[in-house]
Every structure is written in C-alpha cells, then in structure tokens.
C-alpha cells in the first residue's frame, strides 16, 4: 500500500470516526430533547379572584395564546358568596400554610402590606417604561417599603348613582341634574330629597360590618375636611370623626333619607334594594353595575342609572375612596416565570379593554383614557377621569385590616343604635391602641 493510499484510507477512517461521533451526539441530543418535550407538562397557574365575565375572557385568551405551555386555572371567589373580609382570610390561610396551590391571587389595594410577606417581589420582571404606562393612583398601591409586590388589575372609585327617570318629573330637574354633575352639597341633596320624596328613602349607602362601611365613612369624613391622621398619628376619636359617624346615623334616623336596613347592606344588597324600591340616589363603586348580575334585575331601570361625584359639605371638596384590586404572585409558587407572563398580559391594552368594556372595571393604563375609540363608545370615561382626581387612598398600614375590622364593628353598632357615637369611637381607638386580639 502506497503512502498516498494509506493517507487516503486514514482520512476516510477519520472522516467515518468524526461522522460517527457527530451522529452519536445528534442521536443523544434528539433523544434528550424528545424525552424532555414528551415529559414536560403544561405549567398550570392557579389564579384566585372573583372571576367575572371579563376575567374569564382574559383567561381564555391567555390560554389560547400559550396553549401547550401555560394554562391559567380559575379559583373563583365570587363577590356574591364571599365578602372582601372573607376572601382575605381564605387567601391568607392558604398562603400561611406555604401551599403552592395558589400561584396568583388578587388583593384589595389596601391588603398589600398585609400580604407582603407571602408575595414575590416583581421589580426584576419590569422595566420602568412598563410601569410608567400605569396610572399612578393604581401603581402606588402596589408598593410596600419601596418594594414592588403587585401589579394593578383594575381601579375603582366610589360614586353617587342616580336614577334619571325618577328625578326627571320633578320641578327642579334641570337644576338638580346640573348640581349632581358638578358635585352636589349634602345639604342640597337632603333638602331636595325631603321636598320631593315624602319621607320615602331616597339615599342608600353600605353600612354592614365590612370594609365597604369604612369606605363610606372615609368619604363622608373627607368631604367635611377630616382624615384618620393628626400630626402623623392615627386618630379615630376626633371631632370630625364623631361628626362623620353622627351624620351617617342622622341619614337614617334624623333625615330619614336612608332606611334602617342599610346597617345590613353590603354593595349587592344596596343595589338590589335601590332598584326594587325605586330609590333615586345611592352610593356605589364605579364598576359594580356591570360586575355583578344587576342587569338582569330590571334592565329598564338600570339603563336610567347615571354616575356623579359623591356629595360633600359646604366649604369642602368632594372626596372618593379608591378601590380596586392588585395581582400578586405567591412566593411559594413553582411557576413564577409563567405567572409573570400572565401579569404581563393583564397589563396589555387588549386585556384592559376587555376588563372595562365587559365588566366595567376602570383601566389601569393611561393610554385607554385618551383612546379616541374608547371615548367614542364610552364618553363617560372622561367624567370618571375627573372624579378620579378627588380620590384618596385608605391608610397603607400593615395593621390596616385589623384597624378596619375594629372600626367597622363599632360603626355598625352605631348605625344599629346599639351604642352612642362617642362610646363607639372611644372604644374603637382604645381597642386599636391596646393591640389585643380582636374577635368580631
């Protein structure tokens, strides 16, 4: 065998050797990837919230987009069955057990400090440009101790609803409608109601022992220039605090514009009562008329409902309390990157428009409030944006939920005439200061 033949043979064998190695590597890689893809399961995200029609549409859209990779599974905690307080305890109990069964959970804005210890910090997932698209009133509720722990799902505001068909036949229709649009004084609303409704209930609010009572109380307190803080300290038993509680009681027993039943009302009951009894004015959340099954109660009446600023007292500005819900990722979740993908989708214009157009939830993106098509279809969104400027937040405190539980307990007793205003606020302040275990 000549040298050239040897070289040719060695070259051929070497090529076969290299080819064999390459084939083995390719085969192994294919086998590994095949096994990996065959064994890889779809990441299931368990999402706990009140699953409205809008929620379900968003979940379905997301699951379609991420088919084969991520699936959001709804854990429904409907407002019709669970008050905000009950939802809070159910979610806290699950997270306290370090369970990975909940990946994403919705919290009332004011719960963020309470749930901070169970939440995954989110700053690493977001660019500042992403966050700058969110309206500040919603975004600021997602931080605790300067750490981003949630992302807004939607925002809400307290508003005054009125039935246009019930006031149109009164002699002062044009005047009262203009006053409502500009923000009516409590004094004028009461005078108008007493004049035209002959001792029938003409205003409703939510007075049951729950978080909604605190929102009503803070709006009245704010509309007479008060708040829960004096000199940086939480103060419950103040002159304006007592005046606010007394005014809520007077709405029932002095002016008789609200029935005693309001002391048992959460939002749903107050809306149903207002429609059934033809009550012309009631306080509510901007989203609730589409969020719950109210349309089916009496659509002819519902279509006459209009929205306005909440009343205020002479010399002061109207005040509304911000509501709304934020989404948090459980730090015990096994699917955090996938959970973030869902949060990122929630923040898109597509998802936010679904929330607003389907269930009436106010968008958290600045761009939607100036979107020409949205304004054309829903011109009232401009007015809502103006009301939003009067908004205040409930105190962002770790112990806020306890403070709220105590204060709502005693305020509810006031509305039921079981205790005086003075004693109620004194006991509330003492109980909060004592830091003892409080049981309803």
Q: Is residue 215 part of a domain?
A: yes
In a domain, 269, yes or no: yes
Tell me which residue range forms the domain holding 170.
Answer: 157-322+395-434
Each residue's pLDDT tens digit, 171-186: 999 999 999 999 999 9
How far apart (Å, rounded) are the C-alpha atoms in residues 138 and 50?
A: 19
If asked whether residues 151 and 169 sit together in one domain, one would say no
Q: Is residue 16 part of a domain?
A: no
291 and 348 part of one domain? no
Six-digit token string for 350: 């597509």
Look at residue 133 and tell me if it is in a domain: yes
**One domain, residues 286 and 419:** yes
35 lies in some domain: no
| Contact in structure between 309 and 160 (CB atoms under 8 Å) | yes
Query: What pLDDT is attached to residue 367?
Result: 98
Residue 29 CB neighbour total at 10 angstroms:
10
| pTM for the model | 0.87
Cβ–Cβ < 8 Å for 123, 150: no
Q: Per the domain annotation, does 7 fall within a domain?
A: no
In a domain, 183, yes or no: yes
Which helix (H) or strand (E) segment is 160 a member of? strand 151-163
Say if 301 falls within a structural domain.
yes
Q: Is residue 172 located within the same domain as residue 264?
A: yes
**Residues 280 and 302 occupy one common structural domain:** yes
Residues 250, 187 contacting (CB under 8 angstroms): no
Sites in the chain below the pLDDT cut of 50: 6, 9-10, 13-14, 16-18, 20-21, 24-25, 28, 30-39
Q: What is the pLDDT of residue 19?
A: 52
**228 and 107 in a common domain:** no
182 shares its domain with 215: yes
pLDDT confidence of residue 86: 87
What is the H or E stretch that residue 328 is in?
strand 320-329
Domain boundary among 387, 406, 422: 387
Is the same domain home to 294 and 402? yes
CATH number for the domain spanning 203: value is 3.40.190.10
Q: Are 284 and 158 in contact, with CB atoms under 8 Å apart? A: yes
Q: Report the C-alpha gap between 109 and 51 in whole angstroms.
A: 17
Nearest to residue 305, comparing CAs of 137, 90, 160?
160
List beta partners, residue 328: 105
In this structure, the answer to whether residues 152 and 269 fall within a common structural domain is no
Name the domain count of the chain.
2
Residue listed under structure tokens 């005078």: 191
Same domain, 166 and 268: yes
169 and 260 inside one domain: yes
Q: Are residues 260 and 212 both part of a single domain?
A: yes
pLDDT value at residue 293 = 62
């Amino acid at each position: 065998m000549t040298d050239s033949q040897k070289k040719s043979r060695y070259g051929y064998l070497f090529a076969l050797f290299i080819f064999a190695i390459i084939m083995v590597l390719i085969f192994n890689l294919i086998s590994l990837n095949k096994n990996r893809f065959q064994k890889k399961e779809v990441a299931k995200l368990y999402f706990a919230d009140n699953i409205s029609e809008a929620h379900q549409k968003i979940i379905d859209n997301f699951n379609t987009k991420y088919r084969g990779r991520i699936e959001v599974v709804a854990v429904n905690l409907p407002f019709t069955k669970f008050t905000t307080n009950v939802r809070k305890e159910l979610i806290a109990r699950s997270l306290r057990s370090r369970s990975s069964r909940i990946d994403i959970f919705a919290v009332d804005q004011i719960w963020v400090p309470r749930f901070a210890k169970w939440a995954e910090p989110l700053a690493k997932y977001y660019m500042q440009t992403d966050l700058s698209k969110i309206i500040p009133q919603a975004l600021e509720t997602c931080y605790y101790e300067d750490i981003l722990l949630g992302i807004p799902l939607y925002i809400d505001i307290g508003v005054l609803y009125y039935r246009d068909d019930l006031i149109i036949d009164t002699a002062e229709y044009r005047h009262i409608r203009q006053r409502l649009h500009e923000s009516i004084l409590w004094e004028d609303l009461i005078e108008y109601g007493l004049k035209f409704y002959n001792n029938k209930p003409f205003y409703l609010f939510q007075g049951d022992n729950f978080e909604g009572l605190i929102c009503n109380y803070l709006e009245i307190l704010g509309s007479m220039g008060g708040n829960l803080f004096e000199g940086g300290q939480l103060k419950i038993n103040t002159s304006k605090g007592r005046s606010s509680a007394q005014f809520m009681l007077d709405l029932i027993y002095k002016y008789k514009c609200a029935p005693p039943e309001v002391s048992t009302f959460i939002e749903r009951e107050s809306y149903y009562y207002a429609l059934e009894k033809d009550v012309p004015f009631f306080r509510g959340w901007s989203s609730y008329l589409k969020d719950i099954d109210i349309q089916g109660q009496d659509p002819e009446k519902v279509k006459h409902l209009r929205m306005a600023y909440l009343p205020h007292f002479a010399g002061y500005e109207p005040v509304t309390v911000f509501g709304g819900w934020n989404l948090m990722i459980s730090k015990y979740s096994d699917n955090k990157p996938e959970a973030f993908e869902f949060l990122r989708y929630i923040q898109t214009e597509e998802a936010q428009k679904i929330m607003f157009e389907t269930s009436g939830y106010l968008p958290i993106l600045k761009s939607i409030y100036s979107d020409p098509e949205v304004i054309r279809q829903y011109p009232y969104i401009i007015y809502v944006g103006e009301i939003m400027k009067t908004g205040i937040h409930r105190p962002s405190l770790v112990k806020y939920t306890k403070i709220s539980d105590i204060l709502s307990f005693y305020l509810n007793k006031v509305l039921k005439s079981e205790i005086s205003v003075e004693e109620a606020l004194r006991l509330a302040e003492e109980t909060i200061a004592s830091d003892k275990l409080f049981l309803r």
